[in-house]
Structure 1
Amino acid sequence: MKQNSTQQRIETFSLAEARGLVKDLFKPNPTTYWADFLITMAIGLIAFRLATHAPGSFAWRVLAFVVCALAYYRASIFTHELVHLPSKSWKAFRIVWNLLCGIPFLMPSFTYYCHVDHHRRKHYGTFQDGEYMSLGAKPAYHIFLYLLQPFFVGPLAVFRYAVLAPLSWICPPLRRFLIQHASSLVMDPTYIRPLPPKRTLLIWRLQEALCCAWVWGIAWVVWRGVVPISGMPVPGDFLPKIYLLSVAILMLNGIRTMAAHRFVWSREEELSFAEQMVDSINHPDSRVFGPLWAPVGQRYHALHHLFPSLPYHNLATAHQRLMEGLPGDSAYRLTVSPSLVTTLRELWSNARRVSAQAKRAASEAAAGVTGGLTQAGPPKPHHAALRHGTRV
């Protein structure tokens, strides 16, 4: 009964009704974007300086490191906004973001424009969506494998831009490999990115060249041991701290990503926009820690999938209007989670259940083979589904 009721709520959800409640909130505020990003970068820079150079107790340096990681994490999340902002009128912001954040962090904006596939109806949750892994529909060890990525991405990015990028400019097969397999900020390492138009590749090469120059420039400064202009010595633990900073930022992003969706689809089915919405999660009650682990509006992820062009600074207002204006049985209400812990616990519970099913199937198969009674095949693909009873 609950399954049918939930499915009916999804099928009767009115996108037009929801849009009517938030139709005046789609215009981004340039002042908010510029001030937020620049202040965040300034905080990160000051905190990094304190964490690496300032005298004082170890505890104060650790605190500065944490502040730096949170600030730079927030600044990096603006790459998500770049994908959804109008390209022509926001060109200056895009350039400044790349120069201050994208290039130094080795995540230039071209690496995230594949994000548009994550919003396409025919791509969402399928193998053409690099931002979806069926973590809730696979054995639990896949979650641990996913959380190992932050420890390797940083060094791999350095090698990709410092060595492979310039080599690919003279080696077409390597170029094709990099474009398809090593040019996307996604959660699925097996994702294959479609080849972009030639004009787009020129922008890619420019951003790659800047990243390459940045990496070799940092290497030269570390080798000399002195920071140009300021003359300050480079701390001996500079590179280890950079590595730990990258791990911290990527781990925060990994945890946030695991709480963005329920990740229970088999990646073989096409979802409606309403199903996409219910497969996504809002965390409106995480008002204190939410902006830290899900900055720049990311805690309203289901709302973002409903209206991708809503600017991040209007998401809280939009969510409140939808909760007040939509019917009491609206499918939108299924997207709300009380906390990050609750969401992660549900993901883990789903994965543990799949692990138990796989073990039980393996035991039954082994018993059948040894007893000569049956020939059991592998367990069927898991088509579980949206929590709250959408499918079971």
Structure 2
Amino acid sequence: MNHSTGYIMAARREAASTEIKRQREFYQAAREICSDLFSVRPSVYWVDFLASVVTAYVLVSVYLAMPLSSPIAWFCFAVGGVLIYRSSMFIHEIVHLPSNEMKFFRRFWNFFAGVPLMVPSFTYESHLHHHSSRHYGTENDGEYLPLASGTILGVVAFLAQVFFQPILVVFRYAIWTPISFCHAGLRKWTLQHATSLVINFQYENHKRPEKQTVEDTFWELLTAFRVWVMFGLVLVGTMPVERLPKIYALAVFILIVNHVRTLAAHRYTSDGSTISHLDQFLDSTNITGNWLTELMCPLGLRYHALHHLFPKIPYYNLGVAHRRLVERLPADSLYHDTVYPNARAAIGELMESVRSSK
């Protein structure tokens, strides 16, 4: 090894050591700034969820009962859809709560939102893989696709999922659920491959069969029963068949909002390799935005990078944490690298990465 090569390697080691030190200092400073924001206040969850879900169901009932020629129907469709989305996203908070905390809220949410919306909470436990440093951005992350290094067609295919997912979910519960109980191997396959809310359809949750509890199966069967009742009411003439496409349209609308939000949540630059906790933070975004951002990113989801940094901060404290970090951290802090003025800027950067990857 010549002297110049030795100097280069030494310089690289020193630069890497400096960057690691910088990241460690950033994390410690951010943790100290947010140290009082990790406690859970159950009353906030109850008031927010009840207000959201009751209002949502009232508005959606009006939408389903009125002809589409009525402006009131479209108002109820839009506002009710946004509130249904907000109510459903409590599933994200639930999976981050310790299993022994707020058990009654978890069950109440499942009964009044998870089952009616066909997203019982156990189907989202795979989300914890999305936060794991071993799984984030890899093939074992069901909520990640390497979109930044892909093509425009890949982004279009991702967005096109919204038109098929409602049909797949109905099929999963109405038909596949009872079939899956006919054979142990089929049941195992179902729990591994068709029981997680994901955007990466190649994801396999190998631990799901052993984690499936009696209560999980109860919610699964109750969801299947909910679908059978919906179609049964149509068959006996109690519910007009015209309501089925209206329900489908509402589901697609909610999924469109969610998928656009998901596009803005990350930079999607992972190449499938394992990355550190802070690298996963830097691959995510914080969106300042406005009230429209809050509608599209309910329950603090606009602060997605912050959530990946500190997953245990409850949603109602994320805004406070974000403002503190922006104000108190130095201008060259890693935190500021994750902040975007709006979702359009974050998606625009992603699309620029897609175009430049060709």
TM over 0.5: yes
The corresponding residue for 1:66 is 78
The corresponding residue for 1:34 is 46
Work out which structure has the larger RCO, using CA pairs closer than 8 Å and 6 or more positions apart in sequence: 1
The corresponding residue for 2:95 is 83
> Which amino acid letter does the alignment assign opposite residue 49 of structure 2?
F
CA offsets, 1:329-348, max 9 Å, x none? 11011010111111111111
Q: How does 1:270-289 map to 2 (within 5 A)?
A: 270-284=274-288, 286-289=289-292
Q: How does 1:237-252 map to 2 (within 5 A)?
A: 237-252=242-257
The corresponding residue for 1:231 is none
What secondary structure sits across from 1:149 in the alignment? helix
Contact 2:282-2:338 at 8 Å conserved across structures: yes
For the residues of structure 2 that align with 1:177 and 1:303, how far apart are their CA atoms? 35
Segments of 4+ moved more than 6 angstroms: 4-8
The corresponding residue for 2:57 is 45
User: What is the deviation of 1:49?
Assistant: 1.6
CA RMSD of aligned residues (A): 1.9
For the residues of structure 1 that align with 2:355 and 2:72, how far apart are their CA atoms? 40
The corresponding residue for 1:323 is 326
Contact 1:11-1:274 at 8 Å conserved across structures: no
TM-score after normalising by structure 2 = 0.91
**What's the % identity of the aligned pairs?**
39
Cα distance change of structure 1 residues 258 and 236 upon mapping to structure 2, 3 Å threshold: same
Contact 1:10-1:331 at 8 Å conserved across structures: no
For the residues of structure 1 that align with 2:213 and 2:198, how far apart are their CA atoms? 19
Q: How does 1:56-205 map to 2 (within 5 A)?
A: 58-196=70-208, 198=210, 200-205=212-217
Instruction: Name structure 1 gaps, 5 residues minimum.
Output: 227-233, 358-392
Contact 1:6-1:331 at 8 Å conserved across structures: no
For the residues of structure 2 that align with 1:49 and 1:208, how far apart are their CA atoms? 24
For the residues of structure 2 that align with 1:65 and 1:121, how far apart are their CA atoms? 39
2:266 pairs with 1:254: no
The corresponding residue for 2:315 is 312
Name which of structure 1's ranges 174-183 and 89-98 shifts more when overlaid on structure 2. 174-183
The corresponding residue for 1:221 is 233
2:300 pairs with 1:297: yes
- Which of 328, 344, 349 aligns to 1:346? It is 349
The corresponding residue for 2:11 is none
Cα distance change of structure 1 residues 7 and 260 upon mapping to structure 2, 3 Å threshold: farther
2:193 pairs with 1:208: no
> Which amino acid letter does the alignment assign opposite residue 220 of structure 1?
G
The corresponding residue for 2:6 is none
For the residues of structure 2 that align with 1:114 and 1:148, how far apart are their CA atoms? 22
User: What is the deviation of 1:162?
Assistant: 1.1
CA offsets, 1:187-239, max 9 Å, x none? 1011111233646343332111101111111111122222xxxxxxx344210
Question: Which of the pair is proportionally richer in helix?
Answer: 2
TM-score after normalising by structure 1 = 0.84
The corresponding residue for 2:268 is 263
For the residues of structure 1 that align with 2:144 and 2:168, how far apart are their CA atoms? 21
User: What is the deviation of 1:93?
Assistant: 0.6
Contact 1:137-1:264 at 8 Å conserved across structures: yes
Instruction: Name structure 2 gaps, 5 residues minimum.
Output: 1-13
For the residues of structure 1 that align with 2:307 and 2:201, how far apart are their CA atoms? 24
For the residues of structure 1 that align with 2:115 and 2:68, how far apart are their CA atoms? 31
Contact 2:191-2:209 at 8 Å conserved across structures: no
Q: How many residues align?
A: 343
User: What is the deviation of 1:57?
Assistant: 5.1
For the residues of structure 2 that align with 1:256 and 1:7, how far apart are their CA atoms? 36
For the residues of structure 2 that align with 1:72 and 1:138, how far apart are their CA atoms? 32
The corresponding residue for 2:10 is none
Contact 1:9-1:330 at 8 Å conserved across structures: no
For the residues of structure 2 that align with 1:105 and 1:222, how far apart are their CA atoms? 18
CA offsets, 1:1-28, max 9 Å, x none? xxx9999667612212211111111012
Contact 2:30-2:325 at 8 Å conserved across structures: yes
User: What is the deviation of 1:145?
Assistant: 0.4
User: What is the deviation of 1:323?
Assistant: 1.3
Cα distance change of structure 1 residues 321 and 275 upon mapping to structure 2, 3 Å threshold: same
For the residues of structure 2 that align with 1:342 and 1:163, how far apart are their CA atoms? 42
